[in-house]
Structures are given as structure tokens and as C-alpha cells.
Amino acid sequence: MKIEIGTEFPAYFRPSYPEEFELFSHFEVAAGIPTVLFAITTWKANGKPNVCFHAWSCFHGDKTAFFAVMGGLYQYTHTYANIQRERCFCLNFLPVGAYDRLVNTIRRNEMEDDEFKTGGFTLSEGKTIHAPRIGEAFLNMECVAQEIRDLSGAGITAMVTGRVQHVSVEQAYAQGYERRYGKEGFMMLIPAPQDLVTGAPNPSAIATTKIERYD
């Protein structure tokens, strides 16, 4: 038997915090699909560096180009305004050990805040774009804005597609699987899987990857 969830909000779903279902679709917690966590870095209009801890994205392309497709970027954020203005951004992938430092940049993210200092990160300049990079990231991905689209038309979030211009990989991660996949590698968000029988909420979880087989 399958539990069927439609577009109408299930009345028995209980939020884990008051505004949860004002911010997120109930489909997100019904599905609970993991995605990789990373930091989007940009320059604010006043010249301060900005950090946005983000997930809800995918990465793909063809032989002509490679793209970062970022969903669920809120239109009221500094990051959204910065990308619209500068037309570029950098993606920075850090291991789970950096989680608390990245969360600090959410708690202290006013216009006057230097969010690299807040997170204790080393700032370096992008190689091909006007955006800062996090020195501690094992993978940096420099992107130019290809497309910015409000998919729902509600003026709440946007899907931002970036065309990748340049990638930098820490040498210790440049060979094989061990460092990139495990506790020192990609950090994943598991978005609060709802109990679909009782409607009770669960907290979101942070995970790492484990290779089960080779293809």
C-alpha cells in the first residue's frame, strides 16, 4: 500500500517550527530527498563578502557546457540581489566539520557583516569571475549567471542556473574516492522527512556519503 500525497496541504502534517510550511512545500518533507550542501559566495553591494549556505540543487551538462542549477533561492536574500547585480557567483563545497561555521553565517548575515570573518573562512579571489572563494573548500566552482527564473510566479523563490567557468580542487581530493566521499567529502542535507502516517515532524539531518559499489 502507498500513502498518496496531493497538492492540497495534508491537514494532519504538523510543522517542526511555526513558519515551516510558509517557507517550504509539504512535498519536500513528504519526499525527503537528500541534496548536497554547499556555500554560495558573492559580493554585497557595499563590498562585504556574502556566504549563503544552500542545498536544493543539481549539476549537469553536455559536452558544450556544465551547469549548476540552484532551486529554492529566496528572492529577498542578499545572495539573490548579488547574483542579479554581478551576474556571477562561486560555489564552495566543504566537509561536515565546517557545518557549524556555515550556520554561523546564517545567524549573522546583515548587510554590514563580513560573513567570511563570521565563519572563520579564508577569502580568495575568483580566478575567472568577480566573486570571492572560500579557501577551506575542497572544491570551488565559479559560475556566471545563465538564467534566473521564478518558477512558481509567486515572487518567493527563484531557480538560478549558473554556467560553470572554472573548477578548483584541493590536491588531496584530486585522486580517487576516499577524500571526496565520506566524512571529509561532500555534505548532504536530508530535509526533515515527515511521518506520513501520524503527520509528526522530524528534524532535518546532515549526512555524508558512503560508496556501496562501483559501476
Q: Please tell me the predicted confidence (pLDDT) of residue 41.
A: 98
Pairing relationship of beta strands 139-149 and 57-62 according to DSSP bridges: unpaired
Residue partners of 176: CB distance under 8 A and separation at least 6: none
Q: Please tell me the predicted confidence (pLDDT) of residue 174.
A: 96
Q: How confident is the model at residue 8 (pLDDT cuts 50, 70, 90)?
A: very high
Q: Please tell me the predicted confidence (pLDDT) of residue 185.
A: 98
Torsion of CA 183, 184, 187, 190, to 10 degrees: 0
pTM of the entire structure?
A: 0.96
CA distance linking residue 130 with residue 86, whole number of Å: 7
- At residue 161's C-alpha, the angle toward residues 88 and 83, to 5°, is 30
* Contact between residue 46 and residue 81 where contact means Cβ atoms under 8 Å apart: no
Q: Please tell me the predicted confidence (pLDDT) of residue 155.
A: 96
Which one, of 191, 149, 167, lies nearest residue 66 by Cα?
167
- Please report, rounded to a whole number, the percentage of residues in the chain having pLDDT higher than 90: 100
The pLDDT tens digits of the residues spanning 145-162 come to: 999 999 999 999 999 999
Mean pLDDT of 155-174: 97
The pLDDT tens digits of the residues spanning 10-56 come to: 999 999 999 999 999 999 999 999 999 999 999 999 999 999 999 99
Tell me the average pLDDT of the chain.
97
Q: Please tell me the predicted confidence (pLDDT) of residue 105.
A: 98
Q: Please tell me the predicted confidence (pLDDT) of residue 189.
A: 98
In the Cβ-directed half-sphere of 209, how many Cα atoms lie within 13 Å?
Answer: 17
**Residue 7 phi, psi dihedral angles, 5° rounding:** -70, -25
**Residue 78 phi, psi dihedral angles, 5° rounding:** -60, -40
The pLDDT tens digits of the residues spanning 75-85 come to: 999 999 999 99
Residue partners of 94: CB distance under 8 A and separation at least 6: 38, 39, 102, 134, 136, 137, 138, 187
Residue partners of 6: CB distance under 8 A and separation at least 6: none
Three-class SS string for 21-37?
HHHCCHHHHHHCCCEEE
- Please report, rounded to a whole number, the percentage of residues in the chain having pLDDT higher than 70: 100
